Amino acid sequence: MLSPVKIWRRQKEIRKILGKEGIIISWTKIYVATDEFKKQAPYFIVLIELEDKKRVIGQLVDFDKEKLNFGLKVKAVLRRIKEIKEEDIIPYGVKFKLVDEN
């Protein structure tokens, strides 16, 4: 489980990325995941270059799988990130969505 203090520290970083747009530099589909992500598998991971040239890695969600390709434009959104036990704090983080113009 992520401790509350870690979540608190991480939130400051999340805020900096949310809402930003970037393009897909590379992608993969994860079939074998760790326990925390097992229920989501298979899922897509993308390496994104943001407009300020900073690169970040995150999951790609809510998209038509036929459409996935290199160079597509995406936007950083806030999502619940992994499985937790009943009483754990729900961890939120950055995932990516394709933007409509693609």
Q: How many residues bind other proteins (CB under 8 A)?
A: 32
Q: Is the dihedral of CA 60, 70, 24, 35 positive or negative?
A: positive
User: Does 7 sit near other proteins (CB under 8 A)?
Assistant: no
Interface residue with other proteins among 23, 27, 77, 102 (CB under 8 A) is: 27
**One symbol per residue from 83 to 102: x for binding other proteins (CB under 8 A), - otherwise; what is it?**
--------x-xx--------
In the complex with other proteins, the residue whose CB is nearer, 63 or 91, is 91
User: Does 70 sit near other proteins (CB under 8 A)?
Assistant: yes
Short-list 37, 31, 52, CA closest to 95: 37
In the complex with other proteins, the residue whose CB is nearer, 91 or 102, is 91
Q: How far apart are CA 85 and CA 9, in angstroms?
A: 21
Contacts of 65 (CB under 8 A, 6+ apart): 44
